[in-house]
Amino acid sequence: MEGDLAHIGAGLAAIGSGAAAIGVGNVAGNFLAGALRNPSAAGAQTATLFIGIAFAEALGIFAFLVSLLLMFAV
């Protein structure tokens, strides 16, 4: 048995990256559901859509960053 336990941690962190995509999908999915129900209001909420995506995506990128740090910097 060889290898570094940090590599198991890197794989676990990547699960967090994928889990964040569930949040991103929830934001974009609900925007689409609402925008298709009331298209005239969609333009005014586009900024909110990107704010929601950005905050959820950031957490996934943090998890990806932890993966990279565990593989190459620790």
Instruction: Work out how close the CB of 37 gets to a second copy at its nearest, in angstroms, rounded to a whole number.
Output: 6
Site for a second copy in 15-74 (CB under 8 A): 15-39, 41-42, 44-46, 48-49, 51-53, 55-64, 66-71, 73-74
For 66, residues 6+ apart whose C-beta sits below 8 A from its C-beta are 9, 10, 13, 16
What is the Cα–Cα distance from 18 to 15, expressed in whole angstroms?
5
The region, left, alpha or beta by phi > 0 then psi within -120 to 50, assigned to residue 3 is: left
The footprint of a second copy on this chain (CB under 8 A) covers a number of residues equal to 67
**Interacting residue ranges for a second copy, rule: CB under 8 A:** 1-39, 41-42, 44-46, 48-49, 51-53, 55-64, 66-71, 73-74
